[in-house]
Amino acid sequence: MSRGSVLLRASALLLLVAFVTAPDLFAPVFEPLTVNGAPAIYNQGSLLTLTLAHLATVFGATLASTVVAVLLGIFVTRPMGMEFLPLSRSLVNIGQTFPPIAVLAIAVPLVGFGAKPTLIALFLYGLLPIFENTLTGLTQVSPLTLEAAKGMGMSPSRRLLEVELPLAMPIILAGIRLSVVINLGTATIGSTVAAKGLGEVIIAGLQSNNTAFILQGGAVVALLAILIHDLFMTAERTMARKLGGVAATS
């Protein structure tokens, strides 16, 4: 990564932190977007609290999606689970088949308002990319590598934990990255069912016709998505380089 790129990302992070911790400093920037003396900065709650709640919802759902999708991916790539691959694909596609707003409508009567229906919707929506990348990563491990590990006396569980998963991890991380970035934007709809998050800012702007509020909520979500995307990309590249070095010296 070039020095310019690092400086640009560091500047974006500092801007984001400054805005959510001291938003009033940016009031002059947003005042031209307001009419009839409306507030320029969202004043119905703490932007920092809403941002942290938004991230907690997204990462909580992604963690659950990751555990389920990776375990399912491992299962269907074992001899005893291969016949369940079509069924597994159908199950993880449910989240993509039904839009998150439809999942919310079904979940609210079952679990009530708040974060729970949003977590369910994001969990289902995040399964597919992680599952498919887990499959891709595990099935692309070289048979020669697996034979070598078997020849060293490794048990199937050791081969999985010490060979297959480490080699597949960059691809699995790419699936997790895609899931997180998608869910960062999707989580804004959670505010329609009283879940805390940056959707509150956007909805407040829509209800009051305040463009400044809409832009603030959207900008924070966009910056979060860019920064988290870059963080995962850096982790993927670092892991891929390490694996390439190991392969080159083995």
CB of 17 closer than 8 Å to CB of 235 = no
Instruction: Give the domain extent around 153.
Output: 47-249
Q: Is the pLDDT of residue 57 over 70?
A: yes
Q: Is residue 185 part of a domain?
A: yes
Give the best-scoring range by mean pLDDT among 4-8, 143-147, 224-228: 224-228
Q: Is residue 14 part of a domain?
A: no
Q: Is residue 24 part of a domain?
A: no
Q: Is residue 115 part of a domain?
A: yes
When divided into structural domains, the chain yields a total of: 1
Q: Is residue 34 part of a domain?
A: no
CB of 51 closer than 8 Å to CB of 13 = no
pTM over 0.85: yes
CB of 216 closer than 8 Å to CB of 42 = yes
Position 221 scores a pLDDT of 95
CB of 171 closer than 8 Å to CB of 133 = yes
Q: Residue 77: in which H helix or E strand, if any? A: none
The pLDDT confidence band at residue 250, using thresholds 50, 70 and 90, is very low
Q: Which residue has the higher pLDDT, 225 or 248?
A: 225
CATH number reported for the structural domain that contains residue 245 in this entry: 1.10.3720.10
- What is the per-residue pLDDT across 110-166, written as a single tens digit (0 to 9) for each? 888 888 899 999 999 999 999 999 999 999 988 898 889 888 888 889 999 999 999
Average pLDDT over residues 198-208: 92
CB of 117 closer than 8 Å to CB of 193 = yes
- What is the per-residue pLDDT across 15-37, written as a single tens digit (0 to 9) for each? 999 999 999 999 999 999 888 88
Q: Is the pLDDT of residue 13 over 70?
A: yes
